[in-house]
Amino acid sequence: MTNFFSKKSNSRFTRLLEWGRLLLLTGSAQLLIQCLSFASGILVIRLLPIQEYAIYTLANTMLGTIALLADGGVATGAMSIGGKVWQDPSRLGRVMATAMQLRRKFVRYALLCVLPILYYLLNQHGASPLMIICVIVTLLPAIVASITGEILEVAPSLNQDVKALQKLQIINSGARLLFTSAFLFAFPFAALAILVPGICQYWKNLQLRRVAAKYADSDAEEDPEVRSEMISIVRRILPMSLYFSISSQLTIWLIGIFGDVESIAQIGALSRLAMVLTIITSIYGALIVPRFARLPDDRTLLTQRFILIQVGFTLIASVIMLLVYLFPEQLLYILGANYEDLTKEVVLICAGSLLAMISAALYSLNSSRAYVLHPGVHIPFNLLVLVLSIVIFPPTSTLNALYINLMRAVFGPLIQNLIFFRYSRLKLSHQ
């Protein structure tokens, strides 16, 4: 009996050591990556005039919208299906090839939908036709890179090749910082600030192909069965992707339509501070989500892990919120003199971003298991909350836009919990 408990204790201790090592290595590298990315973002804020930074913010928002529309749930489907065949390079290669084909198809429709909107918003806020053309042209490398980058990471992520992924991220982030500082000191234009990350990401994707080839057959053809299964997932996720393509950037969309150039720049700068949270989400995406996707269909086990992850995120969010509430002026000093008076706004965007982080973390867990609530329920509820928020807080100022963002974010974690427990009750059983 003693021997049994000794073995069990050793097993738990070994797992704790493994997780400690992974978190230390991943966390250290991710901290470096995010520090480099954060420095690049702050340089852009400080070096671009407010008008140029407003244009940069609008263009980046549209880039995010295009990326979401071009995905439509394809990456989620690739992770979900790939999690079942991750040890078979041939089958995993077919999953990735199928995902690539679907993404190339979706990006065409995304461009047709989003580029006219970008043109309208830039024109409305005083950009010249030449500047608009330059911005759209410089977006293209980033758009092309976004089609393939996330799919190429599926195979190494499922095989937990964290070291290779982080090495590429460090080089990519360092190159962005170097070239951003070099170009913007001499030529402080939004188009250059957009072009540099796209070119760096394109190089990163070339290297990612070599890493992915270790785990998945790079010459694999599209698989009709995989395509059918992936489209089934996409059909459930696509309506939500369409919704999220707007709602995830809604604060900037609203300010872009109803606000002025200064408000756009303020929201963009404050959002850059919130990007620090990607340190947490990147570690989470690299370590937790792939492992959760690989767990067996055991309701008890999945529920325990889901709750544990949620508690961890809540504790982290509480500590961050307290620090921002106590030291807003020190935080705003990073952004420069143009944004030093936004003390109330920085607290609001932090609260909304932390709630959104928790919601996104739970959404990633649900999506990795293909647990997706029917959009006919999810979207109307969120639209109702949005309409009520806009009625209460007309989005004509930075402060009101942030109140809308916070009011919407409150419901995210609740909805994701309802989705998980509904699916676990209907689809899974205790084992």
CA distance 204 to 179: 15
- CA angle, residues 238, 282, 378, in degrees to nearest 5: 30
What distances in angstroms separate CA 390 from CA 27, 259, 395, one per listed residue?
A: 39, 13, 7
Please give the mean pLDDT across all residues of the chain: 84
CA distance 155 to 153: 6
Retrieve residue 347's tokens: 């607290």
Q: Return the pLDDT at 55.
A: 92
CA distance 41 to 178: 12
User: 330-343 pLDDT, tens per residue?
Assistant: 888 888 888 888 88
Q: SS3 helix, strand, coil % of the chain, rounded to 5?
A: 85, 0, 15
Among 91-100, 153-162, 389-398, the range scoring the smallest mean pLDDT is 153-162
The pLDDT > 90 percentage for the chain reads 15
Q: What are phi and psi of 127, to 5 degrees?
A: -75, 140
The set of residues, in sequence order, having a beta carbon less than 8 Å from that of 284 and lying 6+ positions away, is 361, 364
Q: What is the pTM of this model?
A: 0.75
What distances in angstroms separate CA 74 from CA 121, 189, 237, one per listed residue?
A: 29, 34, 9
User: 172-224 pLDDT, tens per residue?
Assistant: 999 999 998 888 888 888 899 999 998 999 999 999 999 988 888 888 888 88
State the CB neighbour count (10 A cutoff) for residue 349: 25
- For the chain, state the CA radius of gyration: 22
State the CB neighbour count (10 A cutoff) for residue 125: 16
Domain assignments of the chain as residue spans, ordered by start? 21-238, 249-426
Place of tokens 């049994």: 4
Task: Report whether pLDDT(78) > 90.
Answer: no
CA distance 223 to 78: 12
Retrieve residue 110's tokens: 């995304």
